Structure 1
Amino acid sequence: METPDGGISFAQFILSLGTTTAYHFGDLPDPMSGERGETNLAAASQMIELIGMLQEKTRGNLDPPEAKLVEDLLYDLRMRFVQAQQQPRIVLP
C-alpha cells in the first residue's frame, strides 16, 4: 500500500480516517491507557462528514479500488452511526 516514494497511499489515508472514526465510536481502546475509549458521536459524525467531503472532492480522480474503498467505508460508518444513535445512553447524576 505504500507509494513508490515510500509515502502513504490514498487507501492507507482513508483507512486511518476510518480507524479514527471507530475510536470515536468507542470501538477501540485508548492507545495510552489501553482502556476502551468513550463514545463521542459528534466527533464520529464530523469524521464521517470529512470522509464524505473527500469522496466528493476526489470523484472521478480515484482508481476503481480506491473509489470502492471510500464508498464501502462510508456506508459502514454511516450504518454504525445510526446503530450508535439507537443505543441507550447512561446519564450520570
Structure 2
Amino acid sequence: MSEEAPSSFKVSDRRLFNPDGTVRADTERDESEATIPPPTSDRTPAVSLDHPADTHQTPPKADPLFSEFVLELATNAMMMLGLIEHPQYGRLPPDIEGGRHYIDVLAMLTEKTKGNLAPAEERQLQETVASLRMQFVAITKRLAANARQDN
C-alpha cells in the first residue's frame, strides 16, 4: 500500500494580482470573467469616509411601533412601582427592583438609539425616563419614611 491514490482535486491560484497590486503574469484568465483594473495609488476613492457626501441628512421618520414599545415599557415600570393597577391582579405593592429594571431599560434605550430617532420619539423617550425617575425617587422616599415610622 505504498502507492498513493491520485488526488481528486487540484488547487490553483486564480488571483489576478500580486500582494503589491501588480497584475500577475502567470494568471490563467478566463475570458468570461470581468476584467478588474488594478488598484492605483493616484486614484481617489469615490466616497470619502472622513467627510460624507450628504452632510444634510433628513431625520428618521417616526415609527408608531417604537412609541408603543416605549409606552409598554413605561406601563410595566408604573405597574411595578404601584402607580397603576395591574389589569388582572389590581393594585400590587411596589416592586422597587422591578421598577428600577424597566427604568434602566428605557435609559439604556435612550443611549443606544441616540441620533437614530425622530425628534418626537427622542423627546417621548427622554420625557418618559425623566418622569419615571422622579416618580421612582418619590416612591422610594415615601417607602423609606413609612419604614422609619414603623420602627
- Report TM bin, short chain: 0.7 to 0.9
TM-align CA RMSD: 1.9
Tell me how far apart the structure 1 counterparts of residues 132 and 66 of structure 2 sit (CA, whole Å).
Answer: 18
- Identify the residue that residue 18 of structure 1 maps to in structure 2: 74
The structure with the largest alpha-carbon Rg is 2
Q: Deviations over 1:42-67 (max 9, x none)?
A: 01011111001111110000000000
Q: Which consecutive unaligned segments of at least 5 residues does structure 1 have?
A: none
Amino acid at match of 2:94: T
CA-CA distance at 1:89 after TM superposition: 3.8
CA-CA distance at 1:17 after TM superposition: 0.4
Q: Deviations over 1:5-43 (max 9, x none)?
A: xxx61011001100000001111222223x211100101
- Identify the residue that residue 29 of structure 1 maps to in structure 2: 85
**What is the DSSP-based 3-state SS (H/G/I as helix, E as strand, rest coil) of the residue aligned with 1:9?**
helix
**What is the DSSP-based 3-state SS (H/G/I as helix, E as strand, rest coil) of the residue aligned with 1:68?**
helix
**RCO higher in structure (CA 8 A, sep ≥6):** 1
Tell me how far apart the structure 2 counterparts of residues 67 and 80 of structure 1 sit (CA, whole Å).
Answer: 20
- Identify the residue that residue 119 of structure 2 maps to in structure 1: 64
Q: Which consecutive unaligned segments of at least 5 residues does structure 2 have?
A: 1-62
TM-score, with length taken from structure 1? 0.82
TM-score, with length taken from structure 2? 0.52
**What is the DSSP-based 3-state SS (H/G/I as helix, E as strand, rest coil) of the residue aligned with 1:42?**
helix
Aligned sequence identity (%)? 29
Tell me how far apart the structure 2 counterparts of residues 41 and 60 of structure 1 sit (CA, whole Å).
Answer: 31
